[in-house]
Structure 1
Amino acid sequence: MQHPRQIELQLDGLSCASCVGRAERALAAVPGVAAASVNLATRRARLELDDAAALAPAIEAVGRAGYPAALDSTRLSVEGMTCASCTGRVERALLAVPGVTAAEANLATRSVTVTHAPGISAQALAGTVTRAGYKASVPEDAPATAPPEDEAAVMRRRFILSAALTLPVFITEMGGHAYPPFHHWLMSVVGTQPLWILQFLLTLAVLAGPGRIFFTIGIPALLRAAPEMNSLVAMGAGAAFLYSSVATFAPGVLPEGGVHVYFEAAAVIVTLILLGRWLEARARGRAGQAIRRLVELAPATARVIRAGEPVEVAVAELVPGDLVQLLPGGRIAVDGELVEGEGAIDESMLTGEPLPVTKRPGDAVTGGTVNGASALVYRVTATGADTALARIVRMVEDAQAAKLPVQGLVDRVTRVFVPVVIALAVLSFAIWLALGAGLAVALVSGISVMIIACPCAMGLAVPVSIMVGTGRGAELGILFRRGDALQRLAGARVVGFDKTGTLTMGRPALVALEVADGVPEDELLRLAAGAEAQSEHPLAAAVIEAARARGIVPALASGVSASAGRGLAATVEGRAVLIGNARALSEAGITPAPALIARADTLSAEAATPVHVALDGAHVAVMAMADPLRETSAAAIAELHGLGIQTRLISGDVQAAADAVGAKLGMDHVTGGVLPEGKLDAIRAMGEGSVFVGDGINDAPALAAAETGIAIGSGTDVAIEAAEVVLSSGDPASVPRAIRLSRAVMRNIRQNLFWAFAYNVALIPVAMGVLVPFGGPRLSPMLGAAAMALSSVFVVTNALRLRRFS
């Protein structure tokens, strides 16, 4: 079965939720497009293609709908092309790449120009040509892609120009209302007709210059019977301008008392909406900073050891196996394995935890993390898209592009919103005209309705909150692999935990040491560690690690013999050492010490494994081995209870061991001794709002069975397919943090939706003039434009508050 290919396109012209719906329908109608999703906040369309050949028709279709795709252009130098058949092969190889829409090879210049969707790197395209038999490279004197101009900067320039042209119009028309002597002076110096002509010229410059975008996008959409937000602005400002032009140059056409000009309304409408677009673009730029900060973590160059000497090379040239020298304070270029040196690495970008992690030879290091004060050498293990940083960026982008179930309601409303607004504007115009209010009043009422309606706020309400929330989550080590997990996690009612590796450290440790009177603890530990140094048993590693933690050097042992299921015996510095269970003591004929046996029973009840130690035939100590709880496990469970969430422990350990851990942590319910099939049944029994937290290695079926699966992974263990949420820090405290973040995002979305809908429901009737018969105000088009511009800015600014979540 062939899997759909995913392609992303950057679309121009998207300005409201109705645009999103039309773009999606245009894309989905193309044969070969399995699914299409458009995100207003990122201005991106994500396509799933059953047929790679469907990309070009999809781009044409969305362009015809009024939202052309912004494609990148890459120029490659190609060696080995000698004839037209060579150029044909190069072109065909490139056209077979998903996302490439055109390829033109030039035999004379030995180059090929590729038009493609954003996100395809020049290096990847060069690799395709090279594999086709023609060595390709990116010219150093030419950029690989043509990056789009910053939207906020473009909108800022348009707003400034529009404001400069509008200000004289506004002052000459409205200044007289604020200060009547100014009006009289102006009429005596300039006169009415010349003043109106001046306003006409300045307003025409506004509409034909910075305001042209509303007409070039809105009018074609209107002619296609698919009006959107730009259509409303174009119709409102255009109607005010045309009416004023008639009043200026052909006043006799208008009825008596209807000769008024509204040039200032047309100009101010465009200026205020451009101001809103600029502020919105700035805010959306800040909303996407999390992704940019992640991408910028990777350095541009690295010091590779070649022929014994460090050489500075581009990170793109690194390959697995290269040895990279890392200077103190340097940033790790790509994923690798430490081979020389020991030092602390700041992994906060990966885990959200501020404390550095000590790394030794053999430990994994992650691209984007920061070295401490030591000089290190690491071997490259992954590059490009295979690195942990690249996977994190992909996860965040995937989550940001997702549509939440709540978006379905918004899509249904916005599909009919603009046509309904136009109908209401026409109705308002007709009613006031029929009531005898006059053509000018009726026109102002209809224009106000079109201008005040704001589908932009509706379209941005959900995706911009997702963008900011998932970006903030990535900074905290909380990676939402799917955006809809945000909505489900917010409704969590019960959280089930795996024990080993999730609530515990996942490896045994010495948690208690009880010695007989007169026996020094450190001396006993030194001898025991010496005996265990030659054992491969996991409990042996715990004894050795405990000795090292105390600064004890294990003694030298000889004659080590192990007995499966019992323990081991050795001679350590001339003393007979026996380490094992109670059965090992009995079989060796050693009399157990009652106090130590009683202590061993107590430790067993606390879910620890007792290990007895005998010296020279005497029972002198009992050591307790256990998988220690993570420091933050108890606090995480308490915080979940504070959020009103039940907690369950679901473990394969025996019931007694699971009960002991559950009691320590204060879990609401404990299920122990379950096989993998039983774990699935226990998760299904949790019911609606179920969340399961596992270590992401052996818990994949359980993670998939829960409504929301949360994988606790540490270091580079972040690409866990079965879970919707990945906690890269490995810290259970991130579980309640993730739930609080999801609730904050959903609360933010509800606030945005309430504002977007309530704004339109409340102000559209006011713009129609329903309050006028009761002595209320009639909303002017200028105030409507200001309100509409601010509504989108409000929604985006409200979403930006999520950046402060902690």
Structure 2
Amino acid sequence: MAAPQTTQLKISGMGCASCVGRVETALRDVPGVSDASVNFATETAQVTHDGPVSALTDALTMAGYPAATRQSTLKIGGMNCASCVAKIERALTADPAVVDAQVNLATESAQVTYIDGATDPRTLAQLSEDAGYPARVAQAANDGQTDAAKSEEAKALTRSTVFAAVLALPVFVLEMGGHMIPAFHHWVQATLGTQTSHLIQFALTSVLLIGPGRVFYAKGIPSLLRGSPDMNALVALGTGAAYLFSVTATFTPQVLPQGSANVYFEAASVIVVLILLGRVMEARAKGRTGAAIRKLVGLQPKTARVELDGTFIDRAIADITVGDILQIRPGERVPVDAEVLEGTSYVDESMITGEPVPVGKSPADQVVGGTVNGTGALRVRATRVGADTVLAQVIHMVEQAQGAKLPIQGLVDRITAWFVPAVIAVSLLTIAVWLIFGPAPALPMALVTGVSVLIIACPCAMGLATPTSIMVGTGRAAELGVLFRKGDALQQLQQARVVALDKTGTLTMGRPELENVTTANGFDRADVLRLAAAVEARSEHPIASAITRAGPAELPALSEFESFTGLGVRAVIEDRSVLIGSPRLMAQNGVDLTDLKPEADQRATEGATPLFIAIDGQAAAMLAVSDPVKPGTAQALGRLHDMGLTLAMVTGDNARTAQALADKLGIDHVTAEVLPDGKLAAINALRDQFGTLAFVGDGINDAPALAAADIGVAIGTGTDVAIETADVVLMSGDLRGVTNAVEISRRTMRNIRQNLGWAFGYNILLIPVAAGVLYPFSGHLLSPALAAGAMALSSVFVVSNALRLRRVRASLPESAQDHSTQSVTS
């Protein structure tokens, strides 16, 4: 049996949120499908399956929601006869996601039509490569193609709406003008006559329903016949009923009860116009929800300068391969992930990390595609291209998160699955009640209320409430350097009650630094540091490296060197004997530490590691080495406390050092000296004591803890294993990203609750109003046209409310001062 895979498909034909349940049911009924999640806002389905993709697309077509296709052009080399054409076509069509492949020998190209989301142009090019014919993407399908299609779709919808409005305006004026202005009514009767007025309205409304309104019948009637009515079915039933009743009243009024032969052409026409207008507004608003993805895609340059035989030429990004030597000029965007070979510069990596301070780059450093080079020129070697670049992976993660379905959405889907049939039932019940109990003439009132119920109901608002907020929220989070890799983490994080953090590399820099030099017996600080750095340069121990880094660039030579395991080292420099190490080593060599001991004990209680240096048998200085706290850590932890969260540290470091750091940072609970498997027990204990737990870590040894936590948050500067295990990834190593993640999670879930409250409240309150419950008190019924306007605005409200998440600011914005280098105190 094939291993399960996750395929993302673009779905067409979904008219409203009630379609979601039908698409999911169709997909889950396919053998081999273990899970299917459909997102109405993005019009995508994520399917976990172990069967062929073709089975999924066949099921979608049968259900009336075919998978969308895209087209890409490949430039193919090595072809020399017709048999090559057939061989390449066979290789391409062997991919079940490929619908059609046409290879042209003359142009040395292939036009490939494939299922959108199931494969991509680079994978198709690789199929040709594997068949022995090198290929490259000549026309990347994702380079604005989707945006162009969406834009054209919105323009076509706008044209239909304008045309429908032009047709509906005379109908509305002829019918409603007479009701509002009696003089106008008399003028129409005197000049046109009632029957002529009705015929004009009939003609214009017929054109409107056959033209711009046809979409509702083309989609709604088939859904009714399949026994699974959708939003289009409600509109088709409502407008169709009003139109047919009006046609009957116009041409055969004698078949209707006395006094009930009224026309409602204006209701049918205005309903179509208002709903089309609502869809235009909704489409434009939804277009803005994907702004984050478009912004990320737009970060990658289209071309790069490649070194070829000593000269540089411009080449398309699609043609860049690993190992190519590239030139990046001042102010240019870095085209792909690469390693610096020559040059120094500062690179703005804010689009990846969210940190505003440019990062210095020199030979052997890595640069990330999409970041912006500063004032220096760089010569680099491409290390990752295409889908392997950091930017491409970020885009993929954001797309996955935006297409995810939160647990809260399950309830909404179950409701919308029966919502439309329930509305039809309420409409029929309303008509029956008015026909039985309504005042004469009852038939027109029954028709008005029945149509109003059909038109005012809005499952779209319910279906859009969650996915639009997710799209905007996760997109904004990505702009702030926070990636939600798993959709349910967005909902779970706002439920967290305790945040557990690893120490080394998470709270601290993960690299020891010399923080203090205290001299004694008149020794000069600079001279002592110079000698200490020279001695420790011989050692690879992290503490020794910290001392060496703190010393001058020019170091004196050693004439002798001796290491004492676990104690320290001795060397002879410039005819002076230098001893560096622990108090025990000093005691063995008769060195008196009386003057330095109090300071050393104080530093030890603060979590530092004290070392001593003796020169020619006399105590010269105490060196305090510690793993410094990351900039912004204290600020971030303080903000998390303000959010009502309990803070815990889980570390393998010794208890005294861990407790000293916890006291310094205000951490509530400390579990120290634990092995990786011990972290799991510590996490379970914290969860039992406090509730839902988020764990923040960065190393390989943190991967089990990240997986075991309710929400695993990985520091982006950590290892790939930790990042792959986590639910949330912080693109920078700054813990202020945790506060941003929590803030985004809380704001997004609050936004979703607002949207759901509006969507459900709207339908619960206004469907009875449309049915006429206020008629006994006011003597008025809700006009179907007003019902259509209210329905259209309800969806626009939900999407507009979600768009407010684009204005979310960083919970704790970083400042340049946080990145300044801290000098060693004396």
After TM superposition, the score normalised by the length of structure 2 is 0.93
Aligned-pair CA distance for 1:124: 2.7
Change (3 A) 1:554 1:199: farther
Give the C-alpha shift of residue 718 in structure 1.
Answer: 9.4
Q: Which runs of 5+ in 2 are unaligned?
A: 810-826
Q: Deviations over 1:437-490 (max 9, x none)?
A: 421111111000000000001111111111111111111111100010111111
Give the superposition deviation at 1:533: 2.8
What is the distance in 1 between the residues matched to 2:21 and 2:142? 35
2:520 corresponds to which of 500, 516, 540: 516
CA distance in 2, matches of 1:459, 1:503: 41
- Matched residues, number: 800
What is the deviation of 1:577?
Answer: 2.3
- Residue aligning to 2:560: 559
Amino acid at match of 1:742: S
| Aligned residue type for 1:689 | T
Structure 2 CA distance, aligned partners of 1:164 and 1:652? 74
Say whether residues 1:102 and 2:100 are aligned partners: yes
For the residue of structure 1 that corresponds to 2:789, the secondary structure is helix
SS of the residue corresponding to residue 635 of structure 1 reads helix
Distance across 2 between alignment mates of 1:303 and 1:83: 34
- 3-state SS in 2 of match to 1:415: helix
- Separation of aligned partners in 1, 2:555 and 2:270: 83
Determine which of 440, 448, 452 is the counterpart of 2:452.
448
> Aligned pair in 2 of structure 1 residues 501, 177: CA closer, same or farther (>3 Å)?
same
What SS does the corresponding residue of 2:503 show, helix, strand or coil? Answer: coil
Summarize deviations over 1:575-597 as a string: whole Å, max 9, x none. Answer: 3322222222233x242231212
Amino acid at match of 1:798: N
Q: How does 1:676-755 map to 2 (within 5 A)?
A: 676-687=676-687, 688-714=691-717, 720-755=723-758
* Aligned position for 2:176: 174
Q: Give the equivalent residue in structure 2 for 1:577.
A: 578
Q: Which amino acid aligns with 1:747?
A: R
Query: Match of 1:258, as an amino acid?
Result: S
Secondary structure in structure 2 of the residue aligned to 1:779: coil
Aligned to 1:651: 651
- 1:67–1:140 CA distance, 2 compared to 1 (3 A): closer
Task: Between 474-483 and 696-705, report the one with greater CA deviation.
Answer: 696-705
Aligned counterparts of 2:268 and 2:468: Cα–Cα separation in 1? 30
Shift of 1:557: 4.0
Quote the residue 1:58 is aligned against.
56
- Give me the whole-angstrom Cα distance separating, in 1, the residues matched to 2:139 and 2:423: 53
Q: Does 1:117 align with 2:115?
A: yes
Amino acid across the alignment from 1:92: R
Tell me, which stretches of 5 or more residues in structure 1 are unaligned? Answer: none
Distance 1:536 1:20 in 2: 60
The letter for the 1-side match of 2:209 is L
Q: Secondary structure at the match of 1:310?
A: strand
Tell me the amino acid that sits aligned with residue 672 of structure 1: A
Superposition pairs of residues 310-459 of structure 1, within 5 angstroms: 310-437=312-439, 438-459=442-463
Instruction: Summarize the Cα distance change of 1:167–1:256 in structure 2 as closer, same or farther, 3 Å threshold.
Output: same
Does the Cα contact within 8 Å between 1:388 and 1:716 map onto a contact in 2? no
Tell me, in whole angstroms, the C-alpha distance in 2 between the residues paired with 1:654 and 1:136: 57
Shift of 1:553: 4.4
2:91 alignment partner in structure 1: 93
Equivalent-residue separation in structure 2 for 1:476 and 1:675 (angstroms): 33
Contact 1:324 1:377 in 2 (8 A): yes
Match of 2:201 in 1: 199
The residue aligned with 1:461 is: 465
Contact kept, 8 Å, 1:73 with 1:145, in 2: the verdict is no
Task: State yes or no: 1:43 paired with 2:47.
Answer: no
How far apart, CA to CA, are the structure 1 residues paired with 2:141 and 2:323?
30
Q: Measure the CA separation in 2 of the matches of 1:763 and 1:318.
A: 58
Identity of aligned residues (%): 54
Residues 700/81 of structure 1: CA separation in 2 closer, same or farther (3 Å cut):
same
Residue 545 of structure 1, CA deviation: 2.5
Give, in whole Å, the separation in 2 of the partners of 1:98 and 1:507. Answer: 50
Q: Give the Cα–Cα distance (whole angstroms) in 2 for the partners of residues 649 and 146 of structure 1.
A: 48
User: 439-448 vs 151-160, which deviates more?
Assistant: 151-160
> How has the CA–CA distance of structure 1 residues 2 and 317 changed in structure 2, closer, same or farther, with 3 Å as cutoff?
same
In the TM superposition, residue 260 of structure 1 has moved relative to its aligned partner by: 1.4
Question: What's the CA shift for 1:58?
Answer: 2.4
1:307 positional shift? 1.5
Tell me the equivalent position of 1:26: 26
Mark the CA change 1:725 to 1:453 in structure 2 (over 3 Å): closer, same or farther: same
Q: Counterpart of 1:566 in structure 2: which amino acid?
A: L
* Counterpart pick for 2:782 among 776, 779, 782: 779
Offset, 1:47 = 2.2
Could you say what secondary structure the match of 1:495 adopts?
strand
* 1-structure distance, mates of 2:140, 2:613: 72
* 1:130 lines up with 2:141 in the alignment: no
Residues 510 and 626 in structure 1, CA contact (< 8 A), matched pair in contact too: yes
Moved over 6 A (4+): 80-85, 106-110, 140-146
Distance in 2 separating the partners of 1:754 and 1:414? 15
Matched, 1:299 2:298: no
**Offset at residue 626 of structure 1 (A):** 0.4
User: How far apart are residue 142 of structure 1 and its match?
Assistant: 11
Q: In structure 2, what is the Cα distance between the partners aligned to 1:681 and 1:538?
A: 30
Question: One-letter code of the match for 2:777?
Answer: F
Note closer, same or farther for the CA distance 1:446–1:140 as it changes in structure 2 (3 Å cut).
Answer: closer
**Map of 2:221 onto structure 1:** 219
Q: Which residue number in structure 2 is paired with residue 229 of structure 1?
A: 231
CA positional deviation for 1:110: 6.7
1:209 to 198, 208, 211: 211
1:342 deviation in Å? 1.6
Alpha-carbon spacing, 1:333–1:618, altered in 2? closer, same or farther (3 Å): same
Aligned to 1:476: 480
Name the CA distance, whole Å, in 2 between partners of 1:511 and 1:763: 68
After TM superposition, the structure 1 stretch with the greater mean CA deviation from structure 2, 61-70 or 383-392, is: 61-70
Which deviations, in whole Å up to 9, do the C-alpha atoms of 1:406-447 show, x marking residues without a partner? 111111111111001001001111111112442111111100
Change (3 A) 1:164 1:717: farther
Separation in structure 2 between the aligned mates of residue 622 and residue 570 of structure 1, nearest angstrom: 17
Q: Distance in 1 between matches of 2:245 and 2:504?
A: 75
Range with bigger deviation, 298-307 or 146-155: 146-155
Residue aligned with 1:500, SS:
helix
1:804 maps to 807
Amino acid at match of 2:536: E
Deviation at 1:719, TM superposition (A): 7.7
Question: Do the aligned residues in 2 keep the contact of 1:66 with 1:217 (CA within 8 Å)?
Answer: no
- TM-score when normalising by structure 1: 0.95
Change (3 A) 1:718 1:754: farther
Aligned counterparts, 1:665-680, within 5 A? 665-680=665-680
Counterpart of 1:370 in structure 2: which amino acid?
A: V
